[in-house]
Chains A and B, each alone.
Chain A
Amino acid sequence: MSDTFFTGAPHWTWFIIPYFFVGGLAGGAYFLAAALDWFGRPEDRPVVRTGYDVAAVGAILSGLLLTIDLGRPLRFWHMLFQSENFPALMFKGWSPISFGAWAILLFGLFSVLSALGARAEEGRLQMPALRAVGGVVRGGVAKLVSGIGGLLGLFIAGYTGILLSVTNRPIWADSPWLGALFIASGASTGAAALILFAPARGATERTLEWLSSFDTKALVVELLVLVAFIASLWSIRQVWLGFWGLVLFVGVIGFGILAPLRMHAKRAQAARLVLLGGFLLRLATMLASEGIDRYRVAAGL
């Protein structure tokens, strides 16, 4: 029996599951927008702008979800500053939840800056203060912001998986693949979100085609990592192969990966399935472990 079965569940459920999904999606969308910003063509701009918007909304939503989930939400700042020694910073480089708090703050800052820059580019900012900030984020500054933000986006998509592995909980600590899996899922759901939202902002067929082609590759990477993840958990399959195994095999692999790979022509429909698969992946990995409680194991139940 794995030693992880003697631990207690942290109750990371109904706010954290959507956060893992939204954070991954926002990080993936920002990364793709930044790649198109740096190496794309002028016709890609609508997708770039959509990506920054999705990331900014996603980052703000992520911060809200994380704060609401705390036992004492008004003390959220204790993760950033030493509460008894303000304004000394609170940072532990070896604790994913500590560096993740800083990463989500910085990602929020960079994604909002990029979104303001993109809106200023379109002339859609009414408030003078926002217009002034948006006006600064252009040219070289915009490139620098998107370069750093793109790397932060990938980080945000993946650190949540590392956070789960750096525990002593069953399933999460029994596999080192969760971070890699969440990055691949963040990229595939980020591309899917752009495929769904960008047409309304005037995305061209060529950019959407590139996004769709990238999504296909990201799904293949996700499938390979998912196979490695499942293989690493095979020795403890008795605790997850039931209901959550069904969700993983049918919902995530069947509907979320294989079905979209087969329906390349129906782009929007495939994108919706990818989003469903990304959410079910977070749901299954979180609740499969959350449902395992220590005394039941100790009592041999």
Chain B
Amino acid sequence: MPEPMGFFTDTTVCIGCKACEVACKEWNQLPAANGGVGELSGDSYDNTRKLDGIHWRHVRFIEQFKGPYDGRWLMMSDVCKHCVQAGCLEVCPTGAIIRTEFDTVVIQSDVCNGCRACIAACPFGVIDLNPVSGTAQKCTLCYDRLKVGLEPACSKACPTDSIQFGSIVELRARAHKRVDQLKAQGVKAELYGADPEGALGGLNSFYLLVDEPEVYGLPRKPVLPSRHLAKSASFSFASAAVLGVLALVGLRKRRMDDMGGPGGGGGS
């Protein structure tokens, strides 16, 4: 049985070249956006803008500029987090989303029927429909490459090793060492998703960040969609019970009235 595999993304060494995006698109044969016609975002040097059904890797540009001489670029190659407790897998009604032997989360495109429950369930906004297949799609952590002993296309293409692929245990050890190194240099560095005791049981694709998670478009405390199930179901049950009682009490009252008042005879 293979051990859990994943990505450690060190955002401090990402140069925003988008080689990972291209490698991912090429290997997975993902179609071009907008029919291949280039479309500029208009408010950023990043024109991909988000992860979706045809962009399984996205290098996010965070342009923090207060003035012409006061600013910095943060860059993060974003991807599916392959959560240990995955919201998409939890809600998928067709069984299309599975956990593989590498502890990664994969959508089987031939089983998915495009109901889109997983899109709303993902705490990170990773999944979307691929308009060509009509099914929900996202990063598979190159399941096909892993099966034959190759590393994923994105990490293979990354020229600065910002995206590192390996066993989760090894990657975590490496990430903690890197955080210590950066902190010694006075950089405010934190790991996001590396704690197996943390949110969603840890993320098999985790990050080294130098600002708050929200700045990178990441939720502070991602949760499973089922957290509302018990409360929402109880409130619904209470509402149904109240309406049921109101209907039956109304019918009983009508019957009483027919019998000439509350003392007029038997009830329903």
Contact A3 B235, beta carbon cutoff 8 Å: no
Chain B CB within 8 A of A173 CB: yes
Find chain A residues with CB under 8 A from B222 CB.
3, 168
Contact A72 B112, beta carbon cutoff 8 Å: yes
**Which of B24-32, B122-130, B203-211 is near enough to bind chain A?**
B122-130
Residue picked from B96, B110, B243, most chain A C-beta under 10 Å: B243
Query: Given that A179-B232, A179-B235 are contacting pairs, would A184 and B120 also be in contact in the complex, using a CB cutoff of 8 Å?
Result: no
Chain B CB within 8 A of A79 CB: yes
Complex CA–CA separation, A168 to B220 (angstroms): 13
Chain A CB within 8 A of B251 CB: yes
Contact count A vs B, C-beta below 8 Å: 223
Contact A10 B119, beta carbon cutoff 8 Å: yes
Find chain B residues with CB under 8 A from A154 CB.
240, 243-244
Query: Given that A154-B240, A221-B246 are contacting pairs, would A166 and B235 also be in contact in the complex, using a CB cutoff of 8 Å?
Result: no
Interface residues of A in 61-119 (CB under 8 A from B): 69-73, 75-76, 78-79, 82-84, 90, 92, 94-98, 101
Chain B CB within 8 A of A270 CB: no
Chain B CB within 8 A of A14 CB: no
Contact A165 B244, beta carbon cutoff 8 Å: no
Chain B CB within 8 A of A271 CB: no
Find chain B residues with CB under 8 A from A183 CB.
236, 239-240, 243
**Which of A48-56, A209-217, A259-267 is near enough to bind chain B?**
A209-217
Chain B CB within 8 A of A177 CB: yes
Contact A1 B214, beta carbon cutoff 8 Å: yes
Chain B CB within 8 A of A39 CB: yes
**Which of B12-20, B161-169, B170-178, B223-231 is near enough to bind chain A?**
B223-231
Chain A CB within 8 A of B100 CB: no
Contact A165 B232, beta carbon cutoff 8 Å: yes
Complex CA–CA separation, A83 to B112 (angstroms): 10
**Which of A193-201, A272-280, A291-299 is near enough to bind chain B?**
A291-299
Query: Given that A161-B236, A162-B236 are contacting pairs, would A32 and B247 also be in contact in the complex, using a CB cutoff of 8 Å?
Result: yes
Residue of B nearest to A67 (CB): B113
Contact A94 B235, beta carbon cutoff 8 Å: no
Residue of B nearest to A77 (CB): B113
> Which of the residues A72, A179, A206 comes within 8 Å of B114, measured between beta carbons?
A72
Chain A CB within 8 A of B99 CB: no
Find chain B residues with CB under 8 A from A7 CB.
120, 122-125
**Which of B3-11, B43-51, B148-156, B186-194 is near enough to bind chain A?**
B43-51
Complex CA–CA separation, A181 to B51 (angstroms): 33
Chain A CB within 8 A of B115 CB: yes
Residue of B nearest to A91 (CB): B93
Query: Given that A3-B220, A78-B94 are contacting pairs, would A96 and B229 also be in contact in the complex, using a CB cutoff of 8 Å?
Result: yes
Interface string of A174-206 (1 = CB under 8 A from B): 001111111110010000000000000000001
A67 CB, nearest partner CB in chain B, Å: 9
Find chain A residues with CB under 8 A from B120 CB.
7-10, 12, 167-169, 172
> Which of the residues A36, A97, A173, A221 comes within 8 Å of B242, measured between beta carbons?
A221
Contact B244 A3, beta carbon cutoff 8 Å: no
Find chain B residues with CB under 8 A from A97 CB.
91, 93, 115, 117
Complex CA–CA separation, A295 to B55 (angstroms): 14
Chain B CB within 8 A of A218 CB: yes
Chain A CB within 8 A of B221 CB: yes
Chain B CB within 8 A of A17 CB: no
Contact A78 B123, beta carbon cutoff 8 Å: no
Find chain A residues with CB under 8 A from B122 CB.
7-8, 168
Contact B116 A78, beta carbon cutoff 8 Å: no
Contact A3 B115, beta carbon cutoff 8 Å: no
Interface residues of A in 220-254 (CB under 8 A from B): 221, 225
Query: Given that A169-B120, A179-B239 are contacting pairs, would A217 and B232 also be in contact in the complex, using a CB cutoff of 8 Å?
Result: no
Chain A CB within 8 A of B185 CB: no
> Which of the residues B52, B116, B233, B252 comes within 8 Å of A12, measured between beta carbons?
B116
Given A78-B96, A92-B92, A298-B60, 6 additional A-B pairs, CB 8 A: A39-B255, A83-B94, A162-B236, A166-B229, A176-B228, A184-B239
28 A-B Cβ contacts within 8 A?
A: A3-B223, A7-B120, A7-B125, A8-B122, A8-B126, A9-B119, A11-B116, A35-B248, A35-B251, A70-B134, A71-B134, A72-B135, A75-B112, A79-B94, A82-B95, A83-B94, A83-B95, A97-B91, A161-B232, A162-B232, A166-B91, A167-B121, A168-B120, A179-B239, A180-B236, A184-B239, A217-B246, A299-B44
**Among all A-B residue pairs, the 8 with the closest Cβ atoms:** A71-B114, A179-B236, A298-B217, A3-B219, A71-B134, A75-B113, A180-B239, A167-B120
